[in-house]
Structure 1
Amino acid sequence: MSKQVPPHSLAEWIPNVSQLYKVLGDNTRLRILTLLLKRELNVSEICAQLGLEQSTVSHQLRVLRENHIVTNRREGKIVYYSLEDQHVRDILVETFTHVAHTAQE
């Protein structure tokens, strides 16, 4: 458990955790996040790699950004997206590791 969240107050965070997992429960968003695990990308690069429309990718990135899962930076007219922080990276890596581990049982 994190030292920042005392165990007696974990129940207070359940709605937030539920929202996080709801956002992460979408296949398209997970596909985008697996790309962003490797490096930052712009919308066009994500579209090309996933074969998705720009409007679809932009919508999903907005949801991810609003939920503090990805962040962005502007370079001229191009906006690059990356994972918000190490916590997000850890959640994704641990989740995929867990799924791969349980699939082998």
Structure 2
Amino acid sequence: METCEITLIHKELADEAQESLPDDSVILGMADFFKVFGDPTRVRILTALRRRELCVCDIAYVLGMSSSAVSHQLRGLKAARLVKNRREGKIVYYSLSDEHVEQILDLGFTHMEE
């Protein structure tokens, strides 16, 4: 079996790439952030909230799920800072936390449609 005898071809480029890497804590945070998008239910919830705020029972209706299952997912999305909520009396309304979340969704859908 042949082995590659060259260990590095473009040292300057490799050094530049290495220097541009963020700290491991940032990399781990990004990996955790994108894990949230690995669950279809969470992506559906985020998509439902893309253009409007909704309460838990409305999200449950849209997705055909129980309110408790939706609430469970919303807790994780809120912990990941992807959604925020506001209370109006006894009703809690959820929305995307900021425009960045909407942009991430839009980019993801655009990428999948190409």
TM-score (norm 2): 0.79
Matching of residue 80 in structure 1 with residue 86 in structure 2: no
| Paired residue secondary structure (1:38) | coil
The structural deviation recorded for 1:57 is 0.1
Structure 2 gap segments, 5+ residues each: 1-19
Report which of the two structures shows the higher radius of gyration computed on alpha carbons. 2
Name 2:68's counterpart in structure 1. 55
Name 1:27's counterpart in structure 2. 40
Aligned residues: 96
**Seq. identity, %:** 51
Letter in structure 1 aligned against 2:75: R
Name 1:69's counterpart in structure 2. 82
The structural deviation recorded for 1:9 is 2.9
Letter in structure 2 aligned against 1:61: L
The structural deviation recorded for 1:45 is 0.3
Letter in structure 2 aligned against 1:42: C
The structural deviation recorded for 1:49 is 1.0
TM-score (norm 1): 0.85
Question: Would you tell me which structure has more helix in proportion to its own residues?
Answer: 1
Q: Output the CA distance in 2 between the equivalents of 1:24 and 1:42.
A: 21
Structure 1 residues 57 and 94: alpha-carbon distance in aligned structure 2, compared to 1, 3 A threshold? same
